[in-house]
Amino acid sequence: MRLAGRLLAAVAAVVGLVALFLALIAATDGSGSGFVAWSAAVGIAVLAALWRGRRRSWQGRLVPFLPVLVAAALTLSVCVPTVSTTRRHPADLSFVTTEHWRLSTGSRVAVYHYPPTGNSPRHRVPLVYLNGGPVRGISVLDHRFLQQLAGQGYDVYAYEQAGGGRSDLLPMDQYSITRSVHDLGAFVDKLGKGHADVLGFSSGAIVLTRALADPATAAHLHRAVIAEPGPMDGPTARIAGHKGRPSARGIAPAMTGPRSTHVPRYGVAFGLMRLGLLSPDSGLVGQAEGANAFTAADLGSDTASAYCARDAHRIPVEDTKQNFSFSAAASLRIQQTIEDSPSLAPQLKRSRTPAMLMIAECSSQIRQWETTVLADNPAIQRTQYMPGVGHHMWNGLGDNDQRAAAVITAFLQDKPAPLPDYPTRADIPAFLHDHK
C-alpha cells in the first residue's frame, strides 16, 4: 500500500508538471520554441523538489527529483523540432509544369496551365480554379479533373494560394481572406486575357464569393461557379444548422500513414492552436516547420466527411505523399479573419457577375452557409443540387467527374442545365425544413 501510494504520488507529480508546462506554453504563446515555458516549469519543479527534501537524508533528497526528471524529459520533446524548420516544397509533378508568378500584391504563387485539348471547340475565356484548404496544395485528384476540363476545350489555369503547395510563404500577419481576394484579382489581371471564368471549391468558393462582392476584383470575372462554399463572413460563420445527407465520417476506415500529431511537439502545437490557446503565429512551431510536418493522415476523418456514407469503403486516394501540402497555422489565420469580418450581404447584393451555386447531397458543410450565399447574391442564375456525391464532388468514383463537368460547362457556355434549378431562393425554407 505504501509503495502504491508513492507511485501514485509520483505519477500525479509528473502529470501536474506536464499540465503546468502546457499552461505556460499557452501563457507564453510558445515563445522560444517552447523553451521559455520548459525552463520556467522545470525551475518551479526543482524548487518544489528541494523544498520537499529539505529535512531528509541526502539519499532521500534525490527521490523528489525523479518525477521532475521524467516530466522534464517528456516536456522537452515538445521543444525539439523533428522536421526541417526551413520550408521544403513538394517536388514538381511529372505531368504538368510548375510556373511561379509574382503577383502585384507581392504574393509569389505556383501556377499550373492546362491548354485546351481534344476535339471540342476552344473557349475564348480562360478558366481559373481556386482549390480548397484554404492554404493547401492542389491534390492530384483535382489536377485530373482540371485535365478533363481542358479536354473539353477550356484553357485552364490553377494556382496554389500563398503559403500552400509550391507557393511561397507570407509573413503570418499577412494571411487574410482579403489578401486571398486581392490575389485572385491580381492573378486574373496577370493572365492578360481580359475576363476569366472562375471555379471556386470549398474555401476557394469563399474567396470567389467575396470577390464577387468586391467591385475591383469582380471587374475581372466573366462567370463564377461557387462549389460547396464555407461561411462567407462572421455572421454566416456563427449560424447553427444541419449538414447534408450522412457522410462517411466515422464509418470509413482510418487513414493510414504517419501522423505528425503522434509526435508530442506537433500534437501539442496543432491541438492548442485548434483550441484557440495558441495563436497561428506562436513561437512554438514556425509556419515552415508546421507545413513540413503536417501529413495527409493528420486530416483524419475530415477526408471521409467529403464523401457519402455509401462510399465509405471506396474513398479514393486524393493525393500522393510527395504532393500533399497543408499549412494548418496559415489556414487558421485566414479562417479567423473570415469569422472576424462583418456581414458581406450589403456588398454581395450589388453583384452583377453571372454565378452558379453547386451543392452536394452529402455535403459536410452547414446548409445555411450555402443557402445564405444563394439568398444574398441576386446574380446567382442557377443552383445545381448534385445527387450521390459528397463535399468533394469530382472524386474519380463512377461518373461523378463527368456529371460535375457537365454541370460546370453547361453554365459556362450558357446552355440549359443538366439538372433542375434547385433549390431556388423561393425553395430555401422548404429545403432547410426537409433537411435536404
Q: Name the phi and psi angles at 226, rounded to 5.
A: -100, 105
Per-residue pLDDT band at 310 (split at 50, 70, 90): very high
The two most distant CA atoms of the chain are separated, in Å, by 91
Q: Does domain 99-254+308-433 have CATH number 3.40.50.1820?
A: yes
Q: How far is CA 350 from the centre of its chain?
A: 29
Those residues with Cβ within 8 angstroms of residue 219's Cβ, 6 or more apart along the chain or in another chain: none
Predicted local distance difference test score (pLDDT) of residue 357: 98
DSSP 230: -
| Number of continuous H segments (helices) and E segments (strands) in the chain | 17, 8
Q: Which helix (H) or strand (E) holds 429?
A: helix 428-433
**Rounded-to-5 percentages of helix, strand, coil across the chain:** 45, 15, 45
pLDDT in tens, 400-412: 999 999 999 999 9
What would the mean pLDDT of 431-435 be, rounded to a whole number? Answer: 91
Count the Cβ atoms, other than its own, within 10 Å of residue 12. 11
Residues for the chain: how many in total? 436
Cell numbers found for residue 304: 471521409
Per-residue pLDDT band at 57 (split at 50, 70, 90): low
pLDDT in tens, 30-55: 999 999 999 999 999 888 878 876 66
Q: Name the phi and psi angles at 52, rounded to 5.
A: -65, -35
Predicted local distance difference test score (pLDDT) of residue 56: 67
Predicted local distance difference test score (pLDDT) of residue 54: 67
Whether residue 289 has pLDDT greater than 90:
yes
Q: Tell me, letter by letter, the H, E, C secondary structure of 393-408.
A: CCCCCCCHHHHHHHHH
Whether residue 4 has pLDDT greater than 80:
no
Cell 481572406 sits on residue? 177
3-state DSSP assignment of residue 247: strand
Distance separating alpha carbons of residues 309 and 389, to the nearest angstrom? 10
Burial label, 91 (beta-carbon count in 10 A; 0-12, 13-18, 19+): exposed
What would the mean pLDDT of 157-164 be, rounded to a whole number? Answer: 97
Query: Are the C-beta atoms of 243 and 230 separated by less than 8 Å?
Result: no
Please state, for a pLDDT cut of 90, what percent of the chain lies above it.
84
| Short-list 307, 329, 309, 275, CA closest to 397 | 307
Whether residue 9 has pLDDT greater than 90:
no
Domain boundaries, the chain: 2-76, 99-254+308-433
pLDDT in tens, 203-255: 999 999 999 999 999 999 999 999 999 999 999 999 989 999 999 999 999 88
Those residues with Cβ within 8 angstroms of residue 247's Cβ, 6 or more apart along the chain or in another chain: 304, 305, 306, 307, 308, 309, 362, 363, 364, 390, 391
Predicted local distance difference test score (pLDDT) of residue 8: 83
Distance separating alpha carbons of residues 436 and 357, to the nearest angstrom? 15
User: How many Cα atoms sit within 13 Å of 355 on the Cβ side?
Assistant: 31
What integer best gives the mean pLDDT of the chain? 93
Per-residue pLDDT band at 307 (split at 50, 70, 90): very high
pLDDT in tens, 104-122: 999 999 999 999 998 889 9
Whether residue 163 has pLDDT greater than 80:
yes
pLDDT in tens, 332-375: 999 999 999 999 999 999 999 999 999 999 999 999 999 999 99
